[in-house]
Structure 1
Amino acid sequence: MGFTAKKAYLVLYNAGSAVAWLTVLGRVVATLAYKKDAFFVPLVVDNFARTTQTVAVMEILHALTGVVPAPVFTTLMQVASRLFLMWAITFPFPHLNSSAWYSSMLCAWATTEVIRYSYFVFKQLGSVPSALHWLRYSAFLVLYPIGISSEVAMTLKALFGPARSEGFAFSTWYPYALVAVLLSYIPGSVVLYGHMLKQRRKYLGGGAGGVEKPKVKKRQ
């Protein structure tokens, strides 16, 4: 098959997303390195990260329409949980940006996405570097627990802090919504992590070294 319009779109979309998340990662790391408030993520970085993550709604549309062969349910869960953090936690409570959990969350997300989108770019072009292939199906072993733990910690900070404040307009019901979201992490994280473990076994094999399964030629 040639370089179709669909393939061109996916290359541009994934490349743009990889660059955007690399920008998020670079800006967070630069902030941690040079700011006096060690873990404070400036609003300009927060807003850029929020915009970048919101664009990921396209991932759901891609899965629903069959543009990419991605499972709709797991895609929806991951995108929805991140949108929740960006719009229901950090947007109404921007002072939580000073938490180390927010920095670790963004770093985990950004690193994951730079790897993932870069992988998809090379996949569309027909050749994925072996190191990137390994990272795609191995980095999540560390990055997912960091990201999920950070998301839960941020939600807890909101729940036991500003969400209960009398000055917050939705304080009568917001804490209950946050509790419901926290409870959803119990099955949700298991499903997402389990999905990636299955993908890892499929593409790298079950060994600890992550060696790709050898392809066995079928007898004619």
Structure 2
Amino acid sequence: MTLTPLVHWAQRHEEIFLRVELTDAQNIDVQVQDNVLRFRAQGYGAKGLHEYEFSLEFLFPVKPQVRHKSTQRQVNLTVLKEQRGWWERLTPQERRPVFLTPDFDRWLDESDAEMEIWEKDEKRSRLRTAKLKGEGFISLKTAFLFVYNLVQFLGFSWIFVNMTVRLFIFGRDSLYDTFHTMSDIMFFCQILASVEVLNAAFGVVRTALIPTFIQVIGRNFILFIILGSLEEMHHRPVVFFVFYLWSTIEIFRYPFYMLGCCNTEWKTLTWLRYTVWIPLYPLGVLAEAVAVIQSIPIFDETRLFRIPLPKVIGTSVSFSYVLHVYLIFMFLGLFINFRHLYKQRKKRFRTQKRKAN
């Protein structure tokens, strides 16, 4: 009696991956006719050494050529889609066959698959850059990105080191003069960070625009509006925590990008870049939220940035109402960016694990 093997599947925009659970497979016969894949082989499956076969009709047209590779543990099939796109399922029937299951080792959702494409393009770009460097040239883009990340790294490192030294020397007193001692460099670094939004918007670097925009605009709002415009906030300890958490994250992020410009990787730094944000990023947003909450009564008292209404109404609205709404969007932005960063981390280490295997 012919048996059916267990089959795992995953997809990319141009390919379908099938992994057949069949050990030491022999006499493998794979064909695609009328958009139906038929597989037959002899090997060790769930029922021992037998002949196993299955047929699979695809949701959309595929090319007749099928690549297959047999290992001691399984048979890997690669089927090319006729048209590039993302399928909501593999078969025309909404209920998948009982022998078919997702391949979680290779499974990606559509956004992760697009990120994988970006990373492949970036890798090819780096290889071209490395080739040019070997010939004695370096692209203006690479030089620009390296210098930008170097300047940001030096700026945030200066802030981090100075704040740490002052904390050990002056203790709690250092919490109350952070703005006056560190604000100039922080202003410079955060204004310069606006370049990252432009880089993402114009494709200078392959990264998601919305998370970058949220982070840069959010930080500049806190720095210039909440802290910079209110002298009463300059001596609050919350300024110390905001600046310290920001700089701690960036002293790992920017050198990681610098090494990327040189087509080099330091595994320890890579791990830190994709890990330290897990506790620090939510803490940073929490510190920013505390600063916003502390500034609300000050805006009410000083009437700064009050929003004028039409003369018919004859009054104005306190800026504190805007801040109440901003607090909601702040935590929405936390969710969006945290999800984005988590996907980056998961994709990065899943790729490294796959390469190691």
Q: TM-score, normalised by structure 1?
A: 0.89
Equivalent residue in structure 2 for 1:163, among 276, 296, 299: 299
Equivalent residue in structure 2 for 1:144, among 270, 281, 295: 281
Residues 14-163 of structure 1 mapped to structure 2, 5 A cutoff: 14-35=149-170, 37-40=173-176, 41-159=178-296, 161-163=297-299
| 1:30-85 CA distance string (max 9 Å, x none) | 33233362412141411221221111000101001111001111110000000000
- In the aligned structure 1, how far is the partner of 2:255 from the partner of 2:196? 15
Aligned residues of 2:157 and 2:251 also touching (Cα < 8 A): yes
Aligned residues of 1:21 and 1:113 also touching (Cα < 8 A): yes
Q: How far off is 1:174 after superposition? A: 1.0
Q: Does 1:214 align with 2:214?
A: no
Q: How far off is 1:17 after superposition? A: 0.7
- The amino acid across from 1:215 in the alignment is K
Work out which of the two has the higher radius of gyration on C-alpha atoms and give 1 or 2: 2
- In the aligned structure 2, how far is the partner of 1:34 from the partner of 1:196? 35
- The amino acid across from 1:28 in the alignment is M
Residues 169-184 of structure 1 mapped to structure 2, 5 A cutoff: 169-171=304-306, 172-184=317-329
**Residues 98 and 212 of structure 1: is their aligned pair in 2 closer, same or farther, counting only changes over 3 Å?**
farther
- Which has more helix, going by share of residues? 1
- The amino acid across from 1:197 in the alignment is Y
- In the aligned structure 2, how far is the partner of 1:144 from the partner of 1:192? 9
Aligned residues of 2:159 and 2:182 also touching (Cα < 8 A): yes
- In the aligned structure 1, how far is the partner of 2:261 from the partner of 2:193? 19
- The amino acid across from 1:113 in the alignment is E
Q: Which range is displaced more, 44-53 or 74-83?
A: 44-53
Q: How far off is 1:24 after superposition? A: 1.4
* Unpaired stretches in structure 1, ≥5 consecutive residues: 206-210
Q: Percent identity?
A: 23
- In the aligned structure 1, how far is the partner of 2:205 from the partner of 2:231? 35
- In the aligned structure 2, how far is the partner of 1:140 from the partner of 1:42? 23
Q: Does 1:203 align with 2:348?
A: yes
- Which has more strand, going by share of residues? 2
Q: 2:311 maps to what in 1?
A: none
Q: How far off is 1:11 after superposition? A: 0.7
Q: How far off is 1:97 after superposition? A: 3.4
- In the aligned structure 2, how far is the partner of 1:106 from the partner of 1:173? 27
- In the aligned structure 1, how far is the partner of 2:287 from the partner of 2:339? 19
**Residues 8 and 170 of structure 1: is their aligned pair in 2 closer, same or farther, counting only changes over 3 Å?**
closer
Aligned residues of 1:60 and 1:75 also touching (Cα < 8 A): yes
Question: Of the two structures, which has the highest relative contact order with CA contacts closer than 8 Å and spacing of 6 or more?
Answer: 1
Aligned residues of 1:43 and 1:94 also touching (Cα < 8 A): no
Q: TM-score, normalised by structure 2?
A: 0.56
